[in-house]
Structure 1
Amino acid sequence: MGSSPMALYRCFATKDDLVDALLDRILGRLAAPEPSEDWAADLAGFARAHRMLLALHPWAIVPLFTHPNPGLNATRIGELALEILSRGGITGGDAVADFCGILALNYGWSAFASARSAATRIDQNPGVAIGAAIAALPAGRFPRTRAVADQMSAYGSDEHYERALRQLVAGLRDSADVTDGTR
């Protein structure tokens, strides 16, 4: 950029301040879905948008764990999720726990996807490698695992994410229905 590396310290006192600013900027790019009448569908849309953000910036996954509140945009994301959950009747500690569950799903899934992507770039197909390793396990000791060896090539796929997200949102919807007395 035509300047010395130390020039950054005129704007940021520490490396952590710089990382927080970068994370805040990335989190500010979350494309929040427009609210609809279906809070559960909106929550799934929020989760997908958040996961997409992580997929576009895989370097940010680990720093987001070590910089848990990198700026106002992190708070904005939390506010959005809490607002969606409140429309479903989920508030307080339950909403916080459910928001944490979505974040855990997304960070975990994104870490797997990022690792798979990195392995693919170095001419490995992790799905095929995992399937082959599972198929080589002793059949008597691991019969169920061996039975899904060929399906393991899709481990961490978008299809698997959608299933996990559907199950999570369905559970939250059921929990909200019980809480608000509609069941």
Structure 2
Amino acid sequence: MPAVSSASARSRRARNSLTFEGILNAGEQVAATGFDALTIRAVATELESSPMSLYRYFGTKGELVDALLNRVLGRFAHPLEDGPWIEALRRFAVNHRTLLLDHPWAIAPLIANPYPGPNALPIGETALRILDRGNIRGDDAVAVFSGIVALNYGWSSFVVARSGSGGVQAVRDVARGQASPDYPFTGRVAEPLSRFGSDDHYASILDQLLVGVAAASPTRQL
């Protein structure tokens, strides 16, 4: 029987040395390079293991993705709910957006599958509990919660997609008259466009949304 070289022994990871959390750690590292790169084989390579070893924990790539997304949602920082309910709702929205921007690779798959596991439910429960304090319930509460989540997903995906491309610069060029003189109103906002997707722009839009939400409260009490 031929001897196994020490180099080969070191490069081969024992199957029983894998753990659920260890696989998720490696999965996040792979996904951070681009979600399209996430495969069972890529994660196995990151772990210096074989794909078959990972199938003991995740039968499909879909199961691995769900576990990763559920893990991300579990990191949501639930806001303090003391003080005016509308301010608690603002903190909820900001914290949700922060979670997405901290995990840009997860934005698109979460849009496609917003409920990958049990960690999704406490997020919605928090928002609905805050809205209940403003006497916003039922369909109205679902509409407000959906609106905040849609704003955050849309804003975050837009910013992340543009951050690595020349899209923003192209718009700025038009605004400065370098690409075309045919857009005078765009030219007038050349300076604001330099802060495209900024935190203050987000805060301004969120403020306007929350003004409408507060006005919809039957008691008009914050």
Task: Evaluate the alpha carbon distance shift between residue 153 and residue 181 of structure 1 in structure 2; reply closer, same or farther with a 3 A threshold.
Answer: closer
- Aligned partners of 1:13, 1:117: CA distance in 2, in Å? 35
TM-score (norm 1): 0.87
Q: CA deviation at 1:5?
A: 2.3
Indicate conservation of the 8 Å contact 1:43/1:85, yes or no: yes
Which has the higher Rg, Structure 1 or Structure 2? 2
Aligned partner of 2:83 in structure 1 is: 37
Aligned partner of 1:180 in structure 2 is: 219
TM-score (norm 2): 0.73
The answer for unaligned runs of 5 or more in structure 1 is: none
AA aligned to 1:174 is: A
Q: CA deviation at 1:76?
A: 1.1
**Matches of residues 101-120 of structure 1 in structure 2 within 5 Å?**
101-119=147-165
Indicate conservation of the 8 Å contact 2:70/2:120, yes or no: yes
Task: Evaluate the alpha carbon distance shift between residue 58 and residue 170 of structure 1 in structure 2; reply closer, same or farther with a 3 A threshold.
Answer: same
More helix by share: 1
Task: Evaluate the alpha carbon distance shift between residue 6 and residue 67 of structure 1 in structure 2; reply closer, same or farther with a 3 A threshold.
Answer: farther
Greater relative contact order (Cα 8 A, min sep 6): structure 1 or 2? 1
**Matches of residues 7-156 of structure 1 in structure 2 within 5 Å?**
7-119=53-165, 127-136=168-177, 139=181, 142-156=183-197
- Aligned partners of 1:109, 1:2: CA distance in 2, in Å? 37
The answer for unaligned runs of 5 or more in structure 2 is: 1-46
| Structure 1 vs Structure 2 CA RMSD | 1.8
Q: CA deviation at 1:73?
A: 0.9
Indicate conservation of the 8 Å contact 1:130/1:153, yes or no: no
Indicate conservation of the 8 Å contact 1:39/1:87, yes or no: yes
- Aligned partners of 2:52, 2:131: CA distance in 1, in Å? 44
